[in-house]
């Protein structure tokens, strides 16, 4: 079925009582507004990406500052930027509370509000052009489940039940409605319903200042589709679809992962492909892999999804000095096959905490990881279901442990995401944390893992070879350089090797390339018999590794590892 036929099919599923002429009018409108574009020449570019995730203002003030650092990022080995929220926002939730979907925050453009569309498109368009000239794709966050309570539609909707935008949101006088929907911000919010100041309440799954959109109203679907199309037309290469499991609500259910939620996402994918095939949709679904893979569909939903359960298991594997947690998580019993066109995105840190949601970790795993990594009481987030700390802090500022964690992320399945500052071991930012509490009125400990980069100080640190930040930067830079020299890490199959449990060793292979990776998970030096005696190898990268060719033994220092290319 062609894209137009798919759109009508999805429409009839979501809105069987609505006339199809309404959808046809929408399609006519976007066809007139946006010229259809040819598919990307590299449709699977995201499989070969090294993603760098950043807040524009915290990274280097605004888009002018970010543009000035594109050479830094290119030299680091980055070929995709994931811009954490950039759209107009009161900034009570780091920008995930969107006030206007067709506006970038004025401060990020170096302007004073209000801003003219032409000026916005000039400044942002110049940044996109500079990034694309360096072979760097750009994706950004868009919260499609909720908005800010300062969104103009919500401001109008809350005034009167007769408002034309009232039905864009979910209202009730009975707060027992959707009572089976879990509280996502346990310890921060005590209800999914917020009083409006009259007899009505509005529904929210996240902060109380973030009302959920009502996708039972087709106008909401059209509105959000147009938001995506506007930015696609400007040259954005993809979107991180924030909080997608919660889009559709039904009484008597958990209001998560419902069938119509998937239909909505398929609609977004088909609309984007209708105008310009190849625009990435990245699913942010904090769920078990067997639920997450449903957001990839049959190659007709999202192109990629985060592998949330793998992240905590990499931390557990290091703390337990055992390969079992990672091997079990990546086994077919836990991680199902995904469509050939699809991809997992892997990460150690994102903008949020080391997430330990019981939806995808067991209580036993949560307790073990929390006890081993929540080293300060203020790092606790969501009453034990998360740890707010930078990677360098979680690894007790040990460059060898940081390098080992990166060895796992960069060589296991999928596309890796580098969180800004982790490449030089950025620390928790106490001052920024306290500043944001005053600004937002919320004690959100995730602010610890954000904070600004002090570029003049960093440049001094990187010149000192003994400096902690310099040591981490040198190592991570070399690892990223080695990774981009081959494609197998983003595309190859994974086969675990039979070695003692304190080692995590595996083969990654495509039709054209094969690599072996051996990681010593132990805090002690370890040796192995040479696993690869009958292979001709090139060392792609190693840390704390030596080979005794005479004795045919491999020696690893604590947390040491090696990557080997078969030639």
Phi, psi dihedral angles at 507 (to 5 degrees): -110, 130
Torsion-angle region of 77 (φ positive above 0: left; ψ -120 to 50: alpha; else: beta): left
CB 514 within 8 A of CB 507: yes
The b/e string for 364-386 (b: 16+ C-beta within 10 A; e otherwise) is ebbebbbeebbeeeebbbbebbb
pLDDT band (50, 70, 90) for residue 1: confident
CB 83 within 8 A of CB 139: yes
- Closest among 408, 421, 445 to 311, alpha carbons compared: 408
User: To which H or E segment does residue 218 belong?
Assistant: helix 218-234
Tens of pLDDT along 402-459?
A: 999 999 999 999 999 999 999 999 999 999 999 988 888 878 888 899 999 999 999 9
Token couple for 380: 């606790």
pLDDT at 272 > cutoff 80: yes
Give the separation between CA 65 and CA 87, rounded to whole angstroms. Answer: 17
Q: What is the pLDDT of residue 360?
A: 83
- Closest among 160, 162, 146, 167 to 197, alpha carbons compared: 160
User: To which H or E segment does residue 60 belong?
Assistant: helix 56-60
Torsion-angle region of 342 (φ positive above 0: left; ψ -120 to 50: alpha; else: beta): beta
| DSSP assignment letter at 212 | B
Tens of pLDDT along 65-99?
A: 999 999 999 999 999 999 999 999 999 988 999 99
Tens of pLDDT along 350-392?
A: 767 788 888 788 999 999 999 999 999 989 987 778 899 999 9
pLDDT at 140 > cutoff 80: yes
Give the separation between CA 515 and CA 507, rounded to whole angstroms. Answer: 6
CA torsion angle 361 362 363 366 (round to 10): -40
User: Catalytic residue positions?
Assistant: 242, 284
The b/e string for 24-42 (b: 16+ C-beta within 10 A; e otherwise) is eebbeebeeebeeeeeeee
Q: What is the DSSP string of 224-281?
A: HHHHHHHHHHHT--EEEEETGGGSS--TTS-SSS-HHHHHHHHHHHHHHHHHSTT-EE
Mean pLDDT along residues 128-142: 97
**What average pLDDT does the structure give for the chain?**
94
- Closest among 235, 169, 153 to 202, alpha carbons compared: 169
Q: How many helices (H) and strands (E) does the chain have?
A: 19, 22
**Gyration radius from the chain CA atoms:** 24
Tens of pLDDT along 209-256?
A: 999 999 999 999 999 999 999 999 999 999 999 999 999 999 999 999
Q: What is the pLDDT of residue 351?
A: 66
Do you find a cis peptide bond into 114, omega within 30 degrees of 0?
yes
Structural domains in the chain, CATH included, are: 46-111+125-146+238-255+281-483 (3.20.20.80), 493-566 (2.60.40.1180)
């Amino acid at each position: 079925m062609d894209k137009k036929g798919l759109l009508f099919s999805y429409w009839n599923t979501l809105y069987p009582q609505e006339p199809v002429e309404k959808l046809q009018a929408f399609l006519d409108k976007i066809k007139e507004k946006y010229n259809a574009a040819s598919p990307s020449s590299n449709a699977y570019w995201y499989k070969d990406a090294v993603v760098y995730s950043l807040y524009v203002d915290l990274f280097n003030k605004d888009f002018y500052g970010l543009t000035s650092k594109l050479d830094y990022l290119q030299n680091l080995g980055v070929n995709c930027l994931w811009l954490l929220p950039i759209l107009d926002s009161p900034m009570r939730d780091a920008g995930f509370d969107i006030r206007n979907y067709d506006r970038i925050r004025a401060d990020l453009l170096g302007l004073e509000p209000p801003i003219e569309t032409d000026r916005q498109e000039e400044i942002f368009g110049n940044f996109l052009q500079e990034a694309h000239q360096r072979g760097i794709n750009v994706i950004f966050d868009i919260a499609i489940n909720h908005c800010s309570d300062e969104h103009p539609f919500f401001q109008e909707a809350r005034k009167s039940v007769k408002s034309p935008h009232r039905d864009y949101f979910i209202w009730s006088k009975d707060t027992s409605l959707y009572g089976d929907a879990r509280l996502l911000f346990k310890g921060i919010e005590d209800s999914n319903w917020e009083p409006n100041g009259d007899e009505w309440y509005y529904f929210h799954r996240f902060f109380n200042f973030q009302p959920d959109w009502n996708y039972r109203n087709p106008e909401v679907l059209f509105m959000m589709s147009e938001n995506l199309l506007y930015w696609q037309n400007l040259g954005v290469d993809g979107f991180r679809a924030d909080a997608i499991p919660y889009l559709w609500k039904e009484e008597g259910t958990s209001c998560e992962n419902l069938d119509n939620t998937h239909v909505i996402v398929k609609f977004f994918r088909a609309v984007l492909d209708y105008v310009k095939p190849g625009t990435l949709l990245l699913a942010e679904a904090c769920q078990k892999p067997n639920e997450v893979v449903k957001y990839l569909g049959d190659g007709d939903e999202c192109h990629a999804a985060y592998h949330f359960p793998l992240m905590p298991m990499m931390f557990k594997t290091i703390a337990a000095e055992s390969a079992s947690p990672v091997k079990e998580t990546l086994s077919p019993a836990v991680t199902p096959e995904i469509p050939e066109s699809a991809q997992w995105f892997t990460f150690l840190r994102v903008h949020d905490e080391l997430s330990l949601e019981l939806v995808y970790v067991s209580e036993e795993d949560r307790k073990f990881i929390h006890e081993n990594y929540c080293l300060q009481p203020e790092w606790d987030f969501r009453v034990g279901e998360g740890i707010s700390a930078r990677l360098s802090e979680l690894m007790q500022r040990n460059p060898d442990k940081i390098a080992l964690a990166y060895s796992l992320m960069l060589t296991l399945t999928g596309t890796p995401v580098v969180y800004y500052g982790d490449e030089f071991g950025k620390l928790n930012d106490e001052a920024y944390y306290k500043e944001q509490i005053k600004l937002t009125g919320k004690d959100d400990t995730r602010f610890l893992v954000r904070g600004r980069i002090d570029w003049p100080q960093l440049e001094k640190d990187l010149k000192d070879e003994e400096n902690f930040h310099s040591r981490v930067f040198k190592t991570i830079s070399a690892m990223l350089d080695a990774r981009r020299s081959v494609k197998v890490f983003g595309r190859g199959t994974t086969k675990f090797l039979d070695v003692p449990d304190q080692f995590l060793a595996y083969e990654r292979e495509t039709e054209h390339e094969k690599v072996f990776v051996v990681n010593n998970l132990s805090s002690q030096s370890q040796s192995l018999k040479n696993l690869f005696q009958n292979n001709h190898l090139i060392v792609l990268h190693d840390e704390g590794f030596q080979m005794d060719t005479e004795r045919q033994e491999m020696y690893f220092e604590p947390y040491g590892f090696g990557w080997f290319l078969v030639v």
